[in-house]
Amino acid sequence: MKVLIVDDELSTIKNLKYSFEQDNYEVESTDDSNEALKKITATEYDIVILDLILPETDGLEVCQKIREISNVPIMILSANNEDMSKILGLEYGADDYITKPFNILELKARMKAILRRTRGTSQKANEQTLVVDDFTINALGRKVSLHKQEINLTAKEFDLLLLLITNPGKVFSREELLEIIWGYEYFGDLRTVDVHVRRLREKIETKNKAYEYILTKWGVGYYFRNKG
């Protein structure tokens, strides 16, 4: 597995590098946002660990720029434990957010949870291609097209859409979605689900119209409406 660490704290990089290499991970690091973007463009990483505080750079902006060029899973690592910072991190495309100081075992558990869901999940996803209403989903390649136009989804957005679309009409509570998509290792809250549903809707729903695909069952949860 190949990991990119974007952080300006040498001690953090050193500790992470040592721990990851014990698990035979290949690790690269940088404290420069432009270099990080160049690396992500040129190299296929399995996950990026991103600090929010970088020299002369806003880590949230870096996260957003990464999302413009890649679907690589992003784990934010930050000393800021405020709820708004966590919500913004998810809004800008991160898959998870962990605060410093952190437990390395918890961090690695969360990484593994993200990667499990990135590399293949539900039994229904074993088919190479799914065609549902206006969507064409390459489950193995983890690609989605809507009206024959490819949509750029993050790992969690893809997992969320795949779960809902392969269970049309079934209402999932936020608690169920948090457990299924993020797993028991995730120590987040229910707002994480709402953030990802909102981001997914922004990418697949028609603006200025009522939702067509992902609907809300008020007081219960979310479901996919099969128009067929």
Distance CA 11, CA 207 (A): 46
Blockwise average pLDDT, block size 10, the chain, 228 residues? 92 92 92 92 93 85 88 88 83 87 88 73 54 84 87 88 90 89 67 90 81 91 85
Final residue in a domain of this structure, among 99, 118, 137: 118
Q: What is the CATH number of the domain that holds 191?
A: 1.10.10.10
Nearest to 36 by CA among 67, 12, 14: 67
Q: Are residues 134 and 80 in the same domain?
A: no
**pLDDT value of residue 75:** 93
Final residue in a domain of this structure, among 61, 84, 118: 118
Q: Are residues 146 and 66 in the same domain?
A: no
**pLDDT value of residue 122:** 43
Give the total number of structural domains in the chain.
2
Final residue in a domain of this structure, among 73, 102, 118: 118
Give me the residue label for tokens 């457990």: 179
**pLDDT value of residue 125:** 45
Q: Are residues 81 and 133 in the same domain?
A: no
**pLDDT value of residue 2:** 93
Distance CA 48, CA 22 (A): 18
**pLDDT value of residue 59:** 87
Give me the residue label for tokens 């800008």: 92
Distance CA 160, CA 52 (A): 25
- As a residue count, the chain comes to 228
Full residue range of the structural domain in which residue 210 is found: 123-224
**pLDDT value of residue 129:** 77
Please name the residues in contact with 216: beta carbons below 8 A apart, sequence gap of 6 or more. Answer: 222
The tokens for 216 are: 């809300």
The tokens for 179 are: 């457990």
**pLDDT value of residue 160:** 92
Q: Are residues 154 and 207 in the same domain?
A: yes
Q: What is the CATH number of the domain that holds 18?
A: 3.40.50.2300
**pLDDT value of residue 121:** 46
Q: Are residues 129 and 216 in the same domain?
A: yes
End-to-end CA distance of the chain: 41
**pLDDT value of residue 164:** 92
Distance CA 2, CA 147 (A): 34
Q: Are residues 111 and 219 in the same domain?
A: no
Q: Are residues 133 and 90 in the same domain?
A: no
* DSSP for residue 127: S
Concatenate the DSSP letters of all residues of 135-176 into one string. Answer: EEEETTTTEEEETTEEE---HHHHHHHHHHHTSTT--EEHHH
